[in-house]
Structure 1
Amino acid sequence: MKITNKGFLAVLTGLMLILAAGCTDKSQEQKKPKQEKTTKVNYDIIQAKSINVGQILGIGYPGNDVALYVATDKGLKMYNGSKWYETSTNQHEYYGFQAVSTGFIASGQPQKGLGLKNPLGIIQSVNKGQTFSKLSFYGESLFHFVGAGYSGKSLYVIKENPNDNLGKGLNYSKDNGDTWKKSALKDFGADSYGMIAVQPKNDDTIAMSTRSGIYYSIDNGNTMKLITNPVMITALTYSGENILFSSVENEKIRLKTINPATGEQKNIAIPFLDYENPITYLAVNPKDPNQMAFTTYKNDLYESIDGGMKWSSPLQNGKTELE
C-alpha cells in the first residue's frame, strides 16, 4: 500500500532536520575540553550467528579494516562479504557514523554500565571500537548529523539549538574538534538540513542532502549552491570526485551520481524499493569505488562489489540468519 504524503514526511523526520527558523550568520570559535581516553574493557570482535537490529544508524568502510561497518542500536556490526561480526562490548549507539582513513568518527549514546557520560559528543576510534578518544562536547551534545573528512581532521556538525559553543545550523572544525566556527550558509534556500558528505581529498568541499535537492560548497559551507533539481534527497556520500545520492522522484526511489563541476548525472540500477522504504545511508569504499552499500528505512542492507551492476542483500528488516 502506498504511503501518504503525511506518512512519508514522518519517515523523513529521522532523515532530516526540518528548519523552524532561518539560518544565522554569527561565527563562533571555542576551545574543547581536554581530550580523554576511555577505560579499557574486555573487548573482542566475534563472528555473529545471527543479526537482529532495530535501527541502523550509519554505514561506512573504515580505512583500517576490510569490512563494511554498520552502526546500529546494538553496537557495531561488521560484514566482510560473507560473514557477520560484532563486538563483545562497547555496544554504543553511534549516531552520525563516519568512516575515515584511521577508523571512524561518530556521536551517540553509550552502552549502559560502562561508566561513560551520555551523550558521547564527538568521538574517534582507531582500533575498531575497542577504545575511543573524546574529541568535543563529551557529555554535552548528541549530533545526528556529523560529517568528517577522510583524513579525520575536518569535522562538521548540525546543531538544532544554538548554545555557547555552537551556532544554530552547520558548524565546522579544521583541527579535529579543537575549535569550531559557524558556517554562513550564504545562498542556502532549503527548509531542512540533512546528511553531510565531505570530499575525501578536500575537506573544505561538502555536499548536504535536503528536501529541496543537494546543496554544494567549496568553502566549509559558508557559501552554498544548489546543484540538482529541487527534489527530495534522502542520502548522499562521495564517490571519488562525484557524489552518490538517493532521491525520491515521482514516488520512486532513485540512486544516482552527479559530477558537481559539470552537473552530469548517471543512474544506477537498484533492487525495487517501495515508496515508504527510502534509502537512509550510503557508503563507498575509498579504496575500491566499485564497492558500495546502502540501507533503507526498514533496515534493509544492500551491497555491490561491481559498481552497482549486481546487489547482494545481507540484511532484510534488520535481520539475517547465518549458517
Structure 2
Amino acid sequence: MKSGRSAPPSLPPGTPVPRSPNTTRKSTACGSITRRPAAARKSCCSCTGSRSSGTRTGRSSKNSTKAANTPSWRPICGATTCPPNPPTCQAKVVVKDLRQLAEHLGRWQFTLVAHDWGGGIAWWFAIVHPEYLTNLVILNASHPAIFQRELAHNPQQQAASAYMDRLVNPQAEQALAADKYQVLADVVFGPGRLAIPYTDAEQHPYRTAWAQPGALTGALNYYRAFHSLGYGLPTTTYQVKAPTLVIWGEQDPYVLPSNLTGLEQYVPELTIQRIANGTHWVLHEQPARVNKYIHDFIR
C-alpha cells in the first residue's frame, strides 16, 4: 500500500499504520472492505450494488480470481445492517460510513472497487475524499454529473431508468417478494443474462439475503433517497483525482454506454475498458476478464 497520507491526529506523527497479518473483511452499508495479508502490496475495498447480495463464486470465477491474484468475492452484503429509512442511504451518510470503516481498519489509502449502487457511492467517495484513494475502479456505474446530464437530456436513458419509479412505490417490497422473489430472480438470474446459468446452489445465498428482515426495504431505500444522494455541490466540482479504471458492459439495459461520453472532463486520469457482449452483471458474466483488467490496472 502506498504511503502519502499522514496518520490521523489520534496517532503520533510518523506512527506506522497498523497492519494485520491476516485477511479480514468488514461490512458497511454499501459493501465491504477486504483487508488482504500484510504481504500484499495494496489494500482494496469493494462496494457492491443493493440489488445483488454479492458476486458469483461458482466454477467460472473461482479459477479466474485465483489467476488474477485478487481476493475471492463472496456474497457478504446480505449480512450487513439494512438501512432502515431513506435518509440513511444518502451519499454523505454512506460515504462517512466507508471512511470511518477504512480508518477503523487502519487503511489511510486504498483501491476502491465498486459496482452499481456501490459505484455511485464510490464516485462520491472519490470526489469528497480523494486523499484516501490510490486508485478507483468502477463497473457499470455512472458518474453523478454524467448521470444527471443523461436523465435530463437523453430519452433513451430516461426510458432505461423508468423502472426506478416502480421501486420507490410503497408497495415495492410486496411486489418484489411475491412468488419467492421471482421478480428479482428474473433480473439477476434470468435467461440469456449469463453464459453459464446459475445453479440452484448459487442462487440460494441471494434468495436467503433477500429474505432477511428489512433487506428489501434497505435496498429500496437507495432508490427512495435517490434525489438526495448528492452533496448539493455544483457539477463543476465533481472532479475525481484518483487514477480511475471504468469497466463497462455495453449491453447494460439500465445504465447505457452514453454515460461514458464526456467522462474525461471529470476524471483526468481515466482508463475505460468496454466489454461489448457484457451486461450490467459483467462481473458475474466475465470474471476472468474483469479480474485481469483490475489486476493489470492496480499492480
Category of TM-score, reference length = shorter chain: under 0.3
Which structure's relative contact order is higher, taking Cα pairs within 8 Å and 6+ residues apart?
A: 2
* Structure with the higher fraction of residues in strand conformation: 1
* Structure with the higher fraction of residues in helix conformation: 2
- TM-score of the superposed pair, with normalisation by structure 2: 0.24
